[in-house]
Amino acid sequence: MTANTIEPATTDGAAGQLQTMSAAYRRYAMFLLLLICIINYLDRQVVYILGEPIKEELELADWQLGLLSGLAFGLLYTFLGLPIARLAERANRPLIIATATGVWSIFTVLCAFVTSFNQLLLARVGVGVGEAGCTPPAHSLIVDTAPPEKRSSALAFYGMGPPLGGLLGMAFGGLIADAYGWRTAFLLAGAPGLVFAVLAALTLVEPRKRLQQATAQMREKTPSMIATLKYLWSKESYRFMAVAQILKVFIQLGYAPFLASFYLRNHAQELEAQATSLGASFGYDLGAIGLLGLVLGLSNGLSGALGVWFGGAMADRFGTRDARNYVRIPAIAAIVAIPVFVTGMLAESALVSLVLISLHGFIASIWYGPAFAAAYSVSPGNMRATNSALLLFLANLFGLGLAPLGVGIVSDVLGADMGAGDGLRWALIILSMIGFVTAWLFWRCGRTLREDMVP
């Protein structure tokens, strides 16, 4: 089978079984997958708010923090995504998701017991190994159960998991770290995932199991990896979409691990004063890290989740009128986000800066639902898990692997002359300029998107 002989009309593995699922089950499955995604990102991002206390206790440099947040987590996460996605094209997707959830949760708990940088590095690698098995099979399940006209909002609903997980990771991690230390924060962050792993294994249904014949047909008709890659890369719109998503993830994953450090270095005095004042009002010994985690978690987490939802709703509304709107919406949002972020970085007041960064979180999250819906619209159903994994592979190879490390290196270099606070500030501003290229790529994708879409 070659890329040019794949017949899209016959490859939607679970499309004929959609009606066998009750509306109540579909709602339950979507909520459980959302909760798993939230835990996924909580365990991934809790290290962001814990970066400064970890750095102090283990005596680390910024490049080591970047390594822990990026390459250590992303190395095997990135490379395992494709083979796990290939397995998901044929095997039991709920069981894959359940196993992955259990693995990353166990390694998150192990982060609480490390005594050196190397041990923490290995534990973060383990978290990445587990999380590699989450999003590709989850996306595949969602696309199999949602009607085509609702796919953008369905994917956006699942896509609310990253900002909500970041909310819990920052707020929960900061408060627990202030009260009990960063090790306890890791311990408590990993435990809930074990419960969700059991629920996924016992209650989620694999649509392919409804008809044994359908399963056999899927195995026969699933194209090879080479055929799938050739088919996807033959679509001009997909190529521009893939590069746009790579850069979008590069930007987001580049600044996320350093946002808390930016405020602690540049606005520490104001944060300490506000924490003392609020703590006295509520009778709680609130520190700067606890306050910052709470504020960043609530502001960016909620604004990010609203941005994802808004983008999905807008794409479902306007994408049916003109498919190019699926990529025009992310393009416009990418442009608008830049001046908001830069102004937030340069603001002298911590309060003003946090408000602007919260607004940026809303704008920067709009792309998720429309972009993934557009990407999946050009591939048949028996390629969607691989499609998802390919996008994640490319995005995470550069985003997780290089962005935090690169920002850390630039911060260290600039900080040698400017000081640690300003060095990090300008490293983040430089990173945001990539958004101009991202916007152009999204817009350019629209030129051939309608012609490339699968009926």
Instruction: Output the furthest CA–CA distance in the chain (Å, rounded).
Output: 69
Q: Output the pLDDT for position 455.
A: 63
Q: Output the pLDDT for position 15.
A: 45
- pLDDT tens digit string along 351-393? 899 999 999 999 999 998 888 888 888 887 677 777 877 887 7
The tokens for 406 are: 């690169």
The tokens for 127 are: 């978290």
Q: Output the pLDDT for position 20.
A: 56
Q: Output the pLDDT for position 443.
A: 94
Residues 415/162, Cβ–Cβ less than 8 Å: no
Q: Output the pLDDT for position 300.
A: 75
The tokens for 130 are: 């587990």
Q: Output the pLDDT for position 113.
A: 92
Question: CA-to-CA distance for 48 and 441, rounded, in angstroms?
Answer: 29
The tokens for 134 are: 């989450």
Task: Tell me the whole-structure pTM to 2 decimals.
Answer: 0.71
Q: Output the pLDDT for position 338.
A: 97
- pLDDT tens digit string along 253-294? 888 888 888 998 998 888 888 877 776 666 666 677 777 777
Q: Output the pLDDT for position 280.
A: 66
> Domains in the chain, ordered, with CATH?
19-203+212-452 (1.20.1250.20)
List, in order, residues 6 or more apart from 290 with CB less than 8 Å away.
174, 175, 177, 178, 179, 275
Residues 167/302, Cβ–Cβ less than 8 Å: yes
Q: Which residue has the tokens 């996460």?
A: 77
Q: Residue 407, Cβ neighbours under 10 Å: how many?
A: 28
Q: Output the pLDDT for position 353.
A: 92
Q: Output the pLDDT for position 150.
A: 74
Q: Output the pLDDT for position 411.
A: 93
Q: Output the pLDDT for position 34.
A: 93
Q: Output the pLDDT for position 172.
A: 79
Residue 283, sorted as left (phi over 0), alpha (psi -120 to 50) or beta, turns out to be left
Find the helix packing angle between 23-49 and 161-180, rounded to 10°: 40
Q: b/e for 434-448, b at 16 or more Cβ within 10 A?
A: bbeebbebbbbbbeb
Q: Which residues of the chain have pLDDT under 70?
A: 1-21, 69-76, 78, 148-149, 208-222, 279-286, 381, 400-401, 455
The tokens for 110 are: 């192990």
